[in-house]
A and B are shown apart, each in its own frame.
Chain A
Amino acid sequence: MTVIGTERVKRGMAQMQKNGVIMDVINAEQARIAEAAGAVAVMALERVPSDIRAAGGVARMADPTIIEEVMKAVSIPVMAKCRIGHIVEARILEAMAVDYIDESEVLTPADDKFHVNKRQFTVPFVCGARDLGEALRRIAEGAAMLRTKGEPGTGNIIEAVKHIRLVQSQIRKIAGMSEDELVAESKNLGAPLDLLMEVHQTGKLPVVNFAAGGVATPADAALMMELGSDGVFVGSGVFKSQEPEKFARAIVEATMNYQDYDLLAKLSKGLGAPMKGIELSTLGQNERMAERGW
């Protein structure tokens, strides 16, 4: 007897992506460049986050035509984004057989209170998290993979660093707590107790956690790996740089060899200008995507 859509199958898919780079692409040509550069998956989008910022208005699930075009172009897994809480966008993406759904704060949220109940889907989900409470709430809803939120489309790594550092330090704290303290901590963090107990016992998250939101250079990718990420999502960073092919290859190698500093120096040479980037203090509160999600 065979069973599809089990927790192990969903989480396992993310485990196969570890130490890899997942790249945002908006058409078949970019998808092929990403695959040739060694990306482990691509995220099919209508616009990369920096263009979503520039365009303004409501950002929604991509046109299925683009997603299909990307799925036909490459043999690596294809991911796509739905709005937070948009059950039907998620069902459409599942019906199209995308390999992973990102319930993403990069798009305009559809529900201001609830996320998608991801346990009811066969396709696995990845979600963003800024702290351990948020991470465990998403896992409780069925997320099979996590990523930092960072601040998408800014090319500024500071928020992603904050998020991974916070999650790691909270895990260390939970691991060192006595069991008596966990119920109160569960209330403090807004995290389900059973998952908190699991973190307490294993000293790690039960699913793979990638870096995302602001990775603009090979050194940024290596920094996030150094801080304990299992892999890296690159959004606007690759195809907003001057030489996407070279850039994509460099990010892949930097992620896998994040402690080989001689190699990182070589990879960082002559890459041309990376994406311009945004200083976060210039962003208004309503322009901060990381704040989205509950």
Chain B
Amino acid sequence: MSQRIGVLNVQGAVSEHATHLRRVGAEVHLVRRPEDLTGLAGIVLPGGESTTIGKLLKKYGLFEPLRDRIAEGMPVFGTCAGMILLAERILGGDDPHLAVMDVTVDRNSFGRQRESFEANVAMADMEGDSFPAVFIRAPHIVDAKPSVRVLAEIDGKIVAARQGQMLATAFHPELTDDLRLHRYFSEMVGTSSYVSAMS
């Protein structure tokens, strides 16, 4: 049976993640209401505008059920804005969102859009070539507690990390054809026994 993986469907690169997940064999469900979480074995928080997504999570009543499930061990993969949603602390005094991952992030820390870039990033846990990473007004992790494993850095800035069943990247693996990170997440989901109960 294929894994049922959700993609948070508020705003941003939702269809791109859904396509990648299907290509690695997952059954994709789009999530906008608490009831959409039922039966999920994992969830992706896509890139978009973190302030917009954060506000609407609360409006749709998704905030608490999502946070609780991640705390219970539901595997989660946050990219860019998704990483900001997961972080416990945001530099500069913005209120954190789900605050489940023991990291501090700095938003737009590489500059504005004209500074957005592509780079090949060497990733721990990953065989083969370095990963083609697309950074768009990207954040980075400025501080990670010892329970967080750093997976990739660029110019000394942490841009990919894992803590237990939480995976976060500052870049957008959904914008290239490289499926390795989605496969990696799908394996995380596969080795976890979590299935989200009724909300």
Q: Which residues of A contact B (CB under 8 A)?
A: 1-6, 8-9, 12-13, 15-20, 35, 38-41, 75-77, 94, 97-100, 122-124, 252-253, 256-257
Q: How far is the CA of A98 from the CA of B113 in the complex (A)?
A: 8
Q: Which residues of A contact B32 (CB under 8 A)?
A: 256-257
Q: Do A8 and B175 touch across chains, with their CB atoms under 8 A apart? A: yes
Q: How far is the CB of B79 from chain A (nearest CB, A)?
A: 10
- B47: nearest chain-A partner, CB-CB: A16
Q: Do A6 and B118 touch across chains, with their CB atoms under 8 A apart? A: yes
Which of A9, A40, A75, A257 has the most B CB atoms < 10 Å from its CB? A9
Q: Do A19 and B11 touch across chains, with their CB atoms under 8 A apart? A: yes
If A9-B118, A98-B113 are given as contacts, then 7 extra A-B residue pairs at C-beta distance below 8 Å, sorted by A number, are A1-B119, A5-B114, A12-B13, A13-B113, A38-B51, A99-B112, A257-B32
Q: Do A16 and B56 touch across chains, with their CB atoms under 8 A apart? A: no
Partner of A19, one of B10, B16, B51, B59: B10
Partner of A13, one of B52, B94, B137, B154: B137
Partner of B175, one of A15, A35, A41: A15
Which of A94, A123, A256, A257 has the most B CB atoms < 10 Å from its CB? A256
Q: How far is the CB of A212 from chain B (nearest CB, A)?
A: 18
Q: Do B11 and A8 touch across chains, with their CB atoms under 8 A apart? A: no
Q: Which residues of B contact A98 (CB under 8 A)?
A: 112-113
Q: Which residues of B contact A35 (CB under 8 A)?
A: 51
Q: How far is the CA of A19 from the CA of B7 in the complex (A)?
A: 14
Q: How far is the CA of A94 from the CA of B114 in the complex (A)?
A: 8
Partner of B16, one of A15, A17, A77, A257: A15
- B12: nearest chain-A partner, CB-CB: A16
Q: How many residues of B contact A (CB 8 A)?
A: 39
Partner of A18, one of B14, B56, B59, B119: B14
Which residues of chain B from 66 to 106 have any CB-CB distance to chain A below 8 Å in the complex?
A: 80-81, 94
Q: How far is the CA of A225 from the CA of B112 in the complex (A)?
A: 28
Q: How far is the CA of A42 from the CA of B94 in the complex (A)?
A: 19
Which residues of chain B from 169 to 187 have any CB-CB distance to chain A below 8 Å in the complex?
A: 172, 175-176
Whether B153 is near chain A, meaning CB under 8 Å from some CB there, is no
Q: How far is the CA of A8 from the CA of B116 in the complex (A)?
A: 10
Knowing A12-B136, A12-B175, the reply to whether A18 touches B13 (Cβ < 8 A) is yes
Knowing A3-B119, A6-B118, the reply to whether A16 touches B136 (Cβ < 8 A) is yes
Q: Do A40 and B49 touch across chains, with their CB atoms under 8 A apart? A: yes
Q: How far is the CB of B148 from chain A (nearest CB, A)?
A: 24
Q: How far is the CA of A16 from the CA of B120 in the complex (A)?
A: 21
Q: Which residues of B contact A2 (CB under 8 A)?
A: 117-119, 154
Q: Do A16 and B51 touch across chains, with their CB atoms under 8 A apart? A: no
Q: Which residues of B contact A124 (CB under 8 A)?
A: 113
